[in-house]
Amino acid sequence: TEKLLFESEKLTAVGQLAASIAHEIRNPLTSIKGFLQLIKGTNEKVNKNYLNIMADEITRIEMITGELLLLAKPQAHDFQYEYLNKIVEDVVLLLSSQALINHVEVNVTINRVPLMKCVPNQLKQVFINLIKNAIEAMPTGGVITIHASQQQDTSIRIVIEDEGGGIPQEFLDKIGTPFYTTKEKGTGLGLMTTLKIIDFHHGTLNISSVINKGTKIEIILPLEQTTTLKGNLSK
Ligand code: ADP
Ligand code: MG
């Protein structure tokens, strides 16, 4: 079992991030421009193939910019009291058809936990990212187990486990780095965004993974946000 603790110091600097975003967005744009040029140059009816590629590339830009929008600065008033149960149940329902199609069963057990001060939409995004990754890690189906309970008086511990292929150690080190993906249609932004949001909530995230057995993600979130707001999520 390999374990990795993500800390705020490990998060990529904004400047480096901006440069890689510019690079990633330029790639599909260059491709779209190229195909437009080709279409303009032909007298034949519009080449459907070019249009399909262009549509795919535009979808890609949408996905990248969509994930990045989440890094926008949340305001103090975005914090509210919400039950973790509600957030997780909403996400599981949202992803239920995707799970069904992929023969994935999602088992949720959440012990009675108190209201938690959080930005619910951001935590929703965290669970969407993690559960999606778990589904995508099990192409032939399997079980995702989600368990949550109160830890001491001050925090909630959430564990998400899958039975997927696991993450090799050399990749574990790169996880959370923007645009690192092993998927043909991945953005490589899900885990980075997840880490930022957890960090913003003053929480911690641990990944342990065993090849061909599965991946376990442990999140610890404080029930209250006693410390002052970390001004900007993108810092
Ligand atoms: P994306 O899902 O778009 O690839 P992520 O940031 O969500 O981007 O994940 C980055 C990479 O981490 C994935 O491409 C995959 O290789 C690996 N990964 C993340 N979660 C899991 C998991 N539960 N099981 C196996 N690999 C995972
Ligand atoms: Mg993902």
Of all protein residues, the one whose alpha carbon is nearest to atom 13 of ligand 1 is: 181
Residue 119's Cβ-count burial label (10 Å; 0-12, 13-18, 19+) is buried
Contacts of 197 (CB under 8 A, 6+ apart): 70, 119, 122, 123, 125, 126, 233
H/E run at residue 36: helix 14-41
| Best residue for ligand 1 mutational test, from 191, 197, 207 (most atoms within 8 Å of Cβ) | 191
Region of residue 152 (left: phi > 0; alpha: psi -120 to 50; beta: else): left
The reported pLDDT for the residue numbered 67 is 74
Model confidence pLDDT, tens digit, residues 7-16: 444 445 666 6
Look at residue 191 and tell me whether its pLDDT is greater than 70: yes
Strand order across the 142-151 sheet = 2-6, 204-210, 214-222, 155-161, 142-151, 104-110
Model confidence pLDDT, tens digit, residues 27-76: 888 888 888 888 888 867 777 888 888 888 998 888 888 777 666 656 66
In whole angstroms, give the CA distance from residue 110 to residue 90.
Answer: 13
In whole angstroms, give the CA distance from residue 214 to residue 144.
Answer: 10
Name the CA dihedral angle for 178, 105, 110, 80, rounded to a multiple of 10 degrees. Answer: 40
176 lines ligand 1 (CB under 6 A): no
* pTM confidence score: 0.80
The reported pLDDT for the residue numbered 148 is 97
In whole angstroms, give the CA distance from residue 124 to residue 102.
Answer: 21
3-state DSSP assignment of residue 154 = coil
Across 19-23, 90-94, 190-194, least confident range:
19-23
In whole angstroms, give the CA distance from residue 192 to residue 231.
Answer: 19
Q: Are the C-beta atoms of residues 133 and 193 closer than 8 Å to each other?
A: no
64 lines ligand 1 (CB under 6 A): no
The reported pLDDT for the residue numbered 129 is 93
Contacts of 31 (CB under 8 A, 6+ apart): 53, 54, 57
Beta carbons within 10 angstroms of residue 81's beta carbon:
12
Look at residue 87 and tell me whether its pLDDT is greater than 80: yes
125 CA to centre of ligand 2 in angstroms: 11
In whole angstroms, give the CA distance from residue 66 to residue 84.
Answer: 24
43 CA to centre of ligand 2 in angstroms: 41
Beta bridge partners of 6: 205
Neighbours of ion ligand 2 (CB under 5 A): 133, 190
**Averaged pLDDT of the chain:** 85
Here the tokens at position 91 are 């996400």
232 CA to centre of ligand 2 in angstroms: 23
59 lines ligand 1 (CB under 6 A): no
Q: What backbone torsions phi and psi does residue 197 show, to the nearest 5 degrees?
A: -70, -45
Look at residue 164 and tell me whether its pLDDT is greater than 70: yes
185 closest CA partner among 18, 32, 63, 94 = 63
Q: Are the C-beta atoms of residues 221 and 118 closer than 8 Å to each other?
A: yes
The answer to whether ipTM exceeds 0.85 is yes
